[in-house]
Structure 1
Amino acid sequence: MTRIKFIAIVGGQLMGLEGALMEELPILQSHDSCVSRVPLFARLDGDAQVAVAASAHPLHVMRGELLHGPGSALAQLFVVHAGLLKVVRLTAGGLERLVRLAEPGDVVGEHAFLTGERSDVYVEALEDTSVCTFQHRDLTRLMALHPGIGGQLLRTLSERLDEAERALSLNTTGVPARLADYLLELPMRRDPRGAVVTWPISKKDVASYLGTTPESLSRALARLESEGLVAPDTRRTTVLLDVDALESLATG
């Protein structure tokens, strides 16, 4: 198999060849996750996908490292190929607020990329993550040749706006309702006891995402358990015992 060396981001800085942390990974194939499986490019015809793939630059970010920080002037668009990133915004008081998770197929940095504004978030790898990067000049040229890319970027931004509006509406509800809604959005695995969900991130990060404190989240989870709606399974999994009741709680 053809292999390529990736330059890693260390301490939030993209390092050069000398002294960089290097890791060998399989080269990303033209029609793999960064193009054909990504909503941004999936609707393009074969020739357009080949053109996009030729402009993709693979990058590997180790767990705990930053892809970029607030204030960065981004001239790149990032598409997650494998792994998991968290997008975090700092509040005026200096507190961290988890905005969203970026999973394989998700796009990161599209707002700053399109508007030219400096990023107001930082992006950290929650596990070893491979991304494809697209330079602004390359993607601008491709958008001129293939207008469908621009249209899909607009759809992506629209989805982000919908997510933000939904998050704002949830913030007017109590923490138990927000937690119920969050649990229902997780992938479920059927089990004789009910539906089992896996917490993809730490409960501290979940609390940040839901706009509350870890202590309030723990109390809300204890309430759901005491009411027989959920049950602890393992440290990273929870059983949803009564999905209908959770949906009623989440929707108010």
Structure 2
Amino acid sequence: MRTAKFETEPFTCPSCITKIETVVSKLAGVAETKVMFNSSKVKVRFDDTLVTADAIAKSITALGYRSYLIRSPRSWPNWLTGVMSDHHSPQGHAALEVLVGRVPIFSQLDDDELKDIAGRVKLRHHRRNEQLYGAGENNPHLMIIHSGHVKVYRISESGHEQLIRVLGEGDFLGDTSFISGAPADHFASTLYAADICTLHHDDLRDYLLRFPTVTYKMLETLSNRLENTERQLSIFAGEGAEHRIAGYLLELSEKQGTATGTGDHGTVTVVLPIAKKDVASFLGLTPETLSRKFTQFESAGWIQMQPRRTVEILDIPALQQL
């Protein structure tokens, strides 16, 4: 049995205690669930051969309470709790190989190649809202996210934050400085506590030359990012706030939506992955405009706003026509 703690945003209603404890306790392999209301944490004791910590976190998030695993030195191996200081210890090194093997750009490598990369990768735990690097800085590392989320953004001349993208598990950043050799032109900060692997650019250059599959996967990821950026620009160019918001909600529904009902009478429930102010920044809107448009969408019967950043989409065809 293992014990893990999950951090959520502040709880506002005591009814969440019974709701979370009931749902999580029904998962196969979960022996005990305890909600710590005042600290906004959930403590779970479970059999990791039957259920994973990620599955537990997703079940809590599905209830409308965005959840992230807190790495605990008493519950998890040392390689998950801070800077990797002993690459030569058999336990830590073997565990790091498993971690590296889960990263998409390294997933096609064999055991010996993963072992080689694990010998040079360092893993560090970062606190919530910690800046990883800023505009104008020379970042010499490729950063690979093992857990948590990182936001990439710029600061406009007027001092406003413009969100570029949010990266999650398996994503990487620091590639721009590697390719161009120039200082970063953006900022990167953790949205929540995150575990991030770093690989020096010199080592990355060596791997790209030695392992064609890593090069291909990296190019594939960069191509997808470029496609997403172009789609984002096309949405912004000449389109009103309603169109941007509707497009964003529809994209969320395709990626994470939980559907109920069938046909035109069906609804889809999604959870905003970031705070509303960050959603507004990403869509090129002010927070006030986003809130006003959400209210208009509710009045029209298209959506229903729920607690914990949860949105119930009631009329998908209506959003598609905007």
TM-score band, normalised by the shorter chain? 0.7 to 0.9
Does the aligned pair in 2 maintain the 1:178–1:210 contact within 8 Å?
Answer: yes
Q: 1:210 aligns with which of 283, 288, 292?
A: 283
**What is residue 200 of structure 2 aligned with on the other side?**
135
**What is residue 150 of structure 2 aligned with on the other side?**
85
What is the DSSP-based 3-state SS (H/G/I as helix, E as strand, rest coil) of the residue aligned with 2:203? helix
CA 228–32 in structure 1, closer or farther in 2 if over 3 Å, else same: farther
**What is residue 82 of structure 2 aligned with on the other side?**
6
Which residue type is aligned with residue 133 of structure 1? T
Deviation larger for 110-119 or 206-215: 110-119
Deviation larger for 90-99 or 72-81: 90-99
Provide the aligned length of Structure 1 versus Structure 2: 231
Alignment deviations for residues 133-174 of structure 1 (CA, whole Å, 9 cap, x no partner): 001111112222212222222222212211111111010211
Which residue type is aligned with residue 269 of structure 2? V
Alignment deviations for residues 81-122 of structure 1 (CA, whole Å, 9 cap, x no partner): 001111111123322100111110111111112221111111
Q: Which runs of 5+ in 1 are unaligned?
A: 8-25
* 2:310 is equivalent to residue 237 of structure 1: yes
Identity %: 37
Deviation larger for 196-205 or 152-161: 152-161
Deviation larger for 208-217 or 218-227: 218-227
Distance across 1 between alignment mates of 2:101 and 2:249: 30
Aligned-residue offset at 1:203: 0.8
What is the DSSP-based 3-state SS (H/G/I as helix, E as strand, rest coil) of the residue aligned with 2:146? strand
* 2:249 is equivalent to residue 183 of structure 1: yes
Which residue type is aligned with residue 65 of structure 1? E
**What is residue 44 of structure 1 aligned with on the other side?**
109
Distance across 1 between alignment mates of 2:189 and 2:258: 28
* 2:168 is equivalent to residue 95 of structure 1: no
Q: How does 1:29-178 map to 2 (within 5 A)?
A: 29-33=95-99, 35-172=100-237, 173-178=239-244
Q: How does the TM-score come out when normalised to structure 1?
A: 0.84
Aligned-residue offset at 1:243: 2.0
CA 171–27 in structure 1, closer or farther in 2 if over 3 Å, else same: farther
Deviation larger for 211-220 or 87-96: 87-96
Does the aligned pair in 2 maintain the 1:58–1:130 contact within 8 Å?
Answer: yes
Aligned-residue offset at 1:189: 2.1
Q: Which runs of 5+ in 2 are unaligned?
A: 1-75, 84-90
Distance across 1 between alignment mates of 2:176 and 2:310: 34
Does the aligned pair in 2 maintain the 1:110–1:153 contact within 8 Å?
Answer: no
Which residue type is aligned with residue 240 of structure 2? G
The two structures, once aligned, show a CA RMSD in angstroms of: 2.2
Q: How does the TM-score come out when normalised to structure 2?
A: 0.67
Alignment deviations for residues 173-201 of structure 1 (CA, whole Å, 9 cap, x no partner): 11111111111222112346721111121
CA 95–46 in structure 1, closer or farther in 2 if over 3 Å, else same: same
Deviation larger for 73-82 or 36-45: 36-45
Distance across 2 between alignment mates of 1:179 and 1:75: 36
CA 207–228 in structure 1, closer or farther in 2 if over 3 Å, else same: same
Aligned-residue offset at 1:2: 4.6
Distance across 2 between alignment mates of 1:244 and 1:51: 51
Deviation larger for 229-238 or 61-70: 229-238
Which residue type is aligned with residue 319 of structure 2? L
Alignment deviations for residues 218-246 of structure 1 (CA, whole Å, 9 cap, x no partner): 12212211221111121421101122322
What is the DSSP-based 3-state SS (H/G/I as helix, E as strand, rest coil) of the residue aligned with 1:30? helix
> Radius of gyration: which is bigger?
2
